[in-house]
Structures are given as C-alpha cells and as structure tokens.
Structure 1
Amino acid sequence: MDENSTAPQQTRLANLDAIRGLGVLGIFFLNIYFMGNSFFGYAPHEVQLTSDIILLTCSNFFLEGRFFSLFAMLFGVGLLIQYQRQQMAMETATTQQQNKRIKRRLYWLIVFGVIHAIFIFPGDILLSYGVSGLLAFRYISLSADELILKAQWFIFLSLIPIALISLMPDDQVYSRDSAFFVEQLADWTGSYQQQLTLHLTMFAYMLAVIPLALMWYIAGLMLLGMALYKRNIFVDGLDNKTLWQCVFWAITLASLDSILSLSGNQMLESMSDLLLWFSAIATALIYIHIIVKFCQNTPHRLKLLQNVGRMAFSLYILQSIVGILLLRYIAPDWLYSLDRIGYVSIAIIYSVFQLLLADVYLRKFNQGPLEKLWRVLVSRTS
C-alpha cells in the first residue's frame, strides 16, 4: 500500500475510536488484579484452581500485554495525526511552534501520569507513554519502512534489560496461603499514608525502569503504530499474508508462554514474560484488523465502543479510582477470597457500566472531562 495515500484527517476516525475503546476496556481486566496489591498483583493458591488455570491461559492468549501494546500503537498514531495536521496549518505557525505544542501535550501527560501514579494507582501507564512519546516524536517524519526498522531495534534492545529484570531471583513466596501475602495486604489496605509510601516506592522503581527498558519498548510500538497508519492498516486492515503470520505467531508464542508460566519453575516462568511481549504485539495487530473490518470507519458501527474510545483518558483514570476504592476501602476482605473468576466478573460488570456511562455522557458533552482539561491546559500554556 502507498503510505502517501494517507491524508491527514480533520474528522475523527471511527476505527481508531473503536480500537481505543477496546483497549481501555481490556486493560481493566489486567489492572483489576493490581488494584489491591499494586506490586505483586494476584496471589495464586498453592494448589492452583482449575478455573484459575483456565483463566490464566485465556489471559495469556487474549489479554496479557495485548491492550498495553494496542494503546502504545494508537498513541503513536495520535502523534502522527497531530503532526500531519500541523503541516496543513503551516501558514499560521512555524514548525517549531507546532512541534512545541505537541511536546507540551506530552509534558502535560507526564504530569497527569505522575499525579496518577503517586496519589491513585502506581500501575500508571501515562508517565511511560508521555516519556516514550517524546522519544518517538523524534522519528515521526520517517517513511513507513524506516519506522518499522527503527521500531524493531527499539523493541529488541528493550528486551535485554527486561530479560535481566525478569530473571532477577525472588526468594519471597507470594501465594494465597503465605504469610508474605497477608503482610502485603495489610500494608496495601492500611492507612492512605501507608499506601502513599508504597506508591512512592513503586514510583521510584518505575523511574529506574522507564529509561532502561519501558521507554524503548513503548516508543518502538508507537513507531510501529505510525508505520501502520502510513500504510493505511487502520483503514484497510492487514493483508491476508500478514494476518495469518500474526495468527501463527500469536498462537505459537502464547502457547509457549502458557506452558512456561504454568510450569511451577521460577526460571521458566520468568522466561515466559519475554514471550508475552512478542505474542502481545501479534495479537494486538489481529485485534486492529478485526475492529477495522467490523467498524469500517462508520460512526454508527460499534458506536458504544467508539464512545468509550472518545473518553479513554477519563475512563482510564476512573477505572483506577473505582478499583482502588472497591478493593482497598469498600471491600478489602475480597482480596483474601477472590479468585480469578471473581476478578473477571468485576471487570465484566464494570465494562458494561463504562459502555453505558460513555454513551450517556457523550449525549450531553463532546468529550470526556479529562480530555477537555488536557486540551485547556495545553492551550493556556502555549
């Protein structure tokens, strides 16, 4: 496909909104496990339940890392669309002025991420996306082929520190029946001051991990998203050959990931994390293809999903607030008894709520509250 055929869009792309909507709904199915203990997440039983094994396997195939990758690609697309629009407005502002505006959006996103990570949920992705966006923006004018090559380098280089971090020994036994599990939950469900201390500890850890690994991986995905947009993948979908290649690698790598993650061997479980990152990209591309074919850039198709996508920022933060309130304050005892099926049930119910909330809200307003705040802050500091 001719990448030059992609013209800057002045209207919203329904496909992108629908894909973004799928992403924001899907990410809650993973984050919900970390709303209680934000560092270790779900504590398995010493003898794993059959339902846990089934849901973990399903997660390895369809959820884990998929929506993180999806969001990163879409973020890259968003940067590219803004860049293309600024090129059309060159008569009213210089390139330097327009680039500053885009970077200012990223700076404000970093501010939102810092606030979110410290005061609400330390599993924040906004900070990482803001920092990675600044890196990806440096290469935004490259051709699709050049972007893909750069993306490959970034992703593969990031896996070296990710592998080293994953393989670090951990002597603590974190299972449902362990004393360590009880100690952890006592801390995470304690006073807000205790929780804030834990948040700051995790935030410091993230500040170290982002430049070492996450920044490069996420920036690589953003560059990949830009390349896909330039090749009209978000309009036409994948060609058959690429689609079946993605299906093959998604199934193969997810199968290996599941085998290793259920092996009971700490070293093999750590190795499964590396496979996850690759299988996630392949599955994310399949999701993009499916949404593109179903939605076909039509505002009335998958409208509920599109509405969620239009409010992705606001709903993402609301997910954190609701999840933290529920599992740390309203029903902290659930953390001792909920199995995976319980967490998934909460995520399903809340996903329906988000679909309804976005639909009702956008009947009265044009954009989400945080989307509007973000735009106002950028405008006033321009």
Structure 2
Amino acid sequence: MNRISQLDSLRGIAVLGLLLLNSYYFALFETGYVRPQVPVLSDQIIQYLNLLLLDSRFRTLFCMLFGAALVIQFSKRNNIESLKPRLIAIGIIGILHSIFVWPGDILLSYGIAGFLALSYLNANNQRVLHHGIALFFLSCTLLLLLSFTSTDEMISRQSAQFELLVTSAPSDLPSLLIHNVAMTAIMLLMLPILTLWNALGLMLIGMYCFKKQIFTLGLNKAHLTLTISAIFILSATSIALETIDGQKYAGINEALVWVNALFGALLVTHLNAKISFGRVLLMPVQAVGKVALTCYLMQSFIMICYFVWLNPQARASYNRIDYVELAFVGIALQLLLAPLYTRYFTHGPFEYVLKHLSLKIAQRHKD
C-alpha cells in the first residue's frame, strides 16, 4: 500500500507544531512558561496567538493520525493480534524516552490507548464516532473538575517559588534522571485518570475520519461551517476569559482549549486536503512526516541538552519570543534535513528501531 501524502504532510505539521508548544516545558517541565511580573508586549501577543491558533492543536492532530494509522495497518494485515507488537514497542520507546530524556512523552499513552482502540477496528463507523466523542468530552470534563481541586497559585518570575524551581531544575545527568523518574511516576498516575481517555477518544475520532476519507477529501460544507463557527465561538470565549482574569478562569480555559483544538485539527485536516496549489511547498513537511517518530524524539533530546547543559540560564531569562525563535530554528533544521535524509533512506533511525523491536516482540510472542 502506497503512502498517503496528505497523512504525511499532516503528520509533519503536527510534529513541527509540537516543538512550538513543548519548548516551554523542555525548560521547566513542572510549570512551562513563567511570565515576568509585568508581562512584555510580545508575551501577551504570543499568548493570545497560542489560544487562537496553537494550544493543543498539534497534539490533538497527532493523536487522530495515530488512530488513522491503526486503520491503515489493520487494512494491510486484517489481523488485530498482529498490531499488538508495534503498540508494545511504542510503549517501550515511550517509557524509555520519558525516563531518560523528557517526561512529557506522549508515546506511552498512545501505545496503551492504542490497545483499547483495537477493539473498535471492526466496529461500525457510528459506534466509533459516538464513543470517540463521548470519551473526548469525558476527558475535557475531568480536566475541568481537576482544575477546581488545584490549589496552585500562579507564580511570576520574580517570586521565591520560581527561584527555587530554577535552582532545583536538573543540571546534570543524575539529577535529570531523578527528576524524570519522579515526573514519569506522576504522569503514569494521571494516565488512567485523564490522559488515557483523551488519547483514546481522539484516536477513535481519527479512525472515523480516515474511514470517511476526511483526511484525503476534507469536510463537507455543513461540517466545515460547524467547525469554523465552533472555532470562532470558542476562541472568542477563551480570549475573553484570559482578558478578564486569566488566572481565575485558567481551568475553564484549558478545557475550552481542548475542545477548540479538536475543531482546529479538523480545519487543518480540511485545508490540507483541499488546498492543492501549495502541495509542492508541503514536500519538506511531508518528509518530516515520513520520519515523524525520529523528529519527535530528537526534538526533546536536543532541547533537553540545550536547557540542561548548553544554556541553563535560559530557564530564568527567556521570554516567549525567545522560545518561539528557538523553536523556529528547530523547525527550519527539520525542514532542511528531513528531505535530504528521506532522499536516501526509507525509514528514519527510530522508525527502524520501532520496526525491528516490533518484529522481535512478535517473534517472541510466537515462540
């Protein structure tokens, strides 16, 4: 089965976009970006742009594409059991990535959610869609409820809490490993409470979208109108809440952002399917999509090296614009190197590792 260029370009968009949003958490995983006591203008502009265009969109799109990939693999093999070794391998890579590099890993949750999604591969489209939507909105509701239980106060860069956070941040390999193990344990605790259901819901929606050819043909007129309207209403609401009192309404806003991200991912999917005049320009993005696993893992490895060893002072001094500039440098390098790599190699280094680890797991299962 030939690769689907629309999926490659969407996968490339998703993995490049993840770098824009993850860059804050590579520096300080516990809090992400901490604003100055008096925010600079560029901070405020980027914050609003994040709310309108970026927050959670790329993670949502990536998760939907994972669901589509399950359908593609099942259509090749027509055997659910044959898909399990790959999911186990993804989970193994994810837990290693989380412990040794960065605990914000998404692969482990994808591997576990993927196991649950396997039972839907033979289900009818309506069941897949309805369960996907229900699980997704359940996760948004759980996120909202969890926000009401939080007693954390928003800190500023001039606070004692921030100074303690920066001074206790990992500065060498042993402290990085200790930090990552502790954070990974917390992320694993959150998995059955929240993260798993969000990932599973989005995967099922992605499976439905692939079966209905939305990834390749786009949305119909009615669904496109609904999507654009929802984005407009949700974005306006988020901006209003942020303007009135961003700290007070942070939990509500985060839940709204999750919902908005789904509609945003659908709009990106539609535009990617419909806009043909930019297809040549998307070729470097497609190349990134072909080696998305390698790009994703290398992003975190390089960024962690940067913030832990090369420029740890950046944790305390970078404004949002600095993180954006750093992310754009990373994006540009991936757009430059991925086409060169894929010209000579079929699989990325970590795609190769995933393939052979999956084969070894499958062989052990047979034995």
With the shorter chain as reference, the TM-score category is: over 0.9
The 2-side partners of 1:60 and 1:357 are apart by: 30
Question: What is the root-mean-square deviation in Å for CA atoms of aligned residues?
Answer: 1.7
* Alignment partner of 1:195 out of 176, 184, 187: 176
1:306 corresponds to which residue?
A: 286
2:42 corresponds to which residue?
A: 51
Structure-2 change in CA distance of 1:297 and 1:215 (3 Å):
farther
Shift of 1:262: 4.2
Identity across aligned pairs (percent)? 32
1:4 corresponds to which residue?
A: none
Is 1:276 aligned to residue 267 of structure 2? no
Shift of 1:160: 3.2
Is 1:37 aligned to residue 28 of structure 2? yes
The one-character-per-residue Cα deviations of 1:150-171 (angstroms, maximum 9, x if unpaired) are 1111112223321222222334
1:123 corresponds to which residue?
A: 104
The one-character-per-residue Cα deviations of 1:236-283 (angstroms, maximum 9, x if unpaired) are 111122112111111211221233234435331111111011000000
* Alignment partner of 1:361 out of 341, 346, 362: 341
Shift of 1:99: 2.1
> Structure 1 stretch 60-69 or stretch 157-166: which is displaced more?
157-166
Shift of 1:26: 0.3
The 2-side partners of 1:254 and 1:166 are apart by: 20
> Structure 1 stretch 116-125 or stretch 190-199: which is displaced more?
190-199
Is 1:150 aligned to residue 131 of structure 2? yes
Structure-2 change in CA distance of 1:102 and 1:297 (3 Å):
farther
Is 1:324 aligned to residue 304 of structure 2? yes
Do 2:141 and 2:255's aligned partners in 1 also have CA atoms closer than 8 Å? no
Do 1:35 and 1:323's aligned partners in 2 also have CA atoms closer than 8 Å? yes
Secondary structure in 2 aligned to 1:381? Answer: helix
1:7 corresponds to which residue?
A: none
Give 1:254's aligned amino acid: S
1:229 corresponds to which residue?
A: 210
The one-character-per-residue Cα deviations of 1:32-77 (angstroms, maximum 9, x if unpaired) are 0011111101001122222111101101111100001101100000
* Alignment partner of 1:348 out of 311, 328, 332: 328
Please show how residues 142-181 of structure 1 align to structure 2 within 5 Å.
142-181=123-162
* Alignment partner of 1:380 out of 360, 363, 366: 360
* Alignment partner of 2:83 out of 85, 94, 102: 102
The 1-side partners of 2:218 and 2:317 are apart by: 43
The 2-side partners of 1:173 and 1:56 are apart by: 15
Secondary structure in 1 aligned to 2:216? Answer: helix
Shift of 1:295: 5.0
The 2-side partners of 1:282 and 1:265 are apart by: 22
Question: Any runs of at least 4 consecutive aligned residues in structure 1 with deviations exceeding 4 A, and if so which?
Answer: 295-298
1:13 corresponds to which residue?
A: 4
The 1-side partners of 2:343 and 2:74 are apart by: 29
Shift of 1:381: 2.4
The 2-side partners of 1:328 and 1:175 are apart by: 21
2:13 corresponds to which residue?
A: 22
Is 1:335 aligned to residue 315 of structure 2? yes
The 2-side partners of 1:312 and 1:243 are apart by: 28
Do 1:24 and 1:312's aligned partners in 2 also have CA atoms closer than 8 Å? yes
Q: Normalising by the residue count of structure 2, what TM-score does the alignment of the two structures yield?
A: 0.95
The 1-side partners of 2:258 and 2:123 are apart by: 25
Q: Normalising by the residue count of structure 1, what TM-score does the alignment of the two structures yield?
A: 0.91
Secondary structure in 2 aligned to 1:141? Answer: coil
Q: What 5-or-longer segments of structure 2 have no aligned partner?
A: 363-367
Do 2:171 and 2:312's aligned partners in 1 also have CA atoms closer than 8 Å? no
Give 1:40's aligned amino acid: T
Structure-2 change in CA distance of 1:171 and 1:381 (3 Å):
closer
1:112 corresponds to which residue?
A: 93
The 2-side partners of 1:201 and 1:68 are apart by: 23
Shift of 1:196: 1.9
Shift of 1:149: 0.6
Is 1:287 aligned to residue 287 of structure 2? no
The 1-side partners of 2:86 and 2:45 are apart by: 41
Please show how residues 60-139 of structure 1 align to structure 2 within 5 Å.
60-87=51-78, 98-139=79-120
The 2-side partners of 1:107 and 1:379 are apart by: 11
Aligned residues: 362
2:350 corresponds to which residue?
A: 370
Do 2:230 and 2:263's aligned partners in 1 also have CA atoms closer than 8 Å? yes
> Structure 1 stretch 325-334 or stretch 10-19: which is displaced more?
325-334
Secondary structure in 1 aligned to 2:150? Answer: coil
Do 2:218 and 2:273's aligned partners in 1 also have CA atoms closer than 8 Å? yes
Is 1:207 aligned to residue 188 of structure 2? yes
Give 1:65's aligned amino acid: S
Q: What 5-or-longer segments of structure 1 have no aligned partner?
A: 1-9, 88-97
Do 1:189 and 1:328's aligned partners in 2 also have CA atoms closer than 8 Å? yes
Do 1:157 and 1:216's aligned partners in 2 also have CA atoms closer than 8 Å? yes
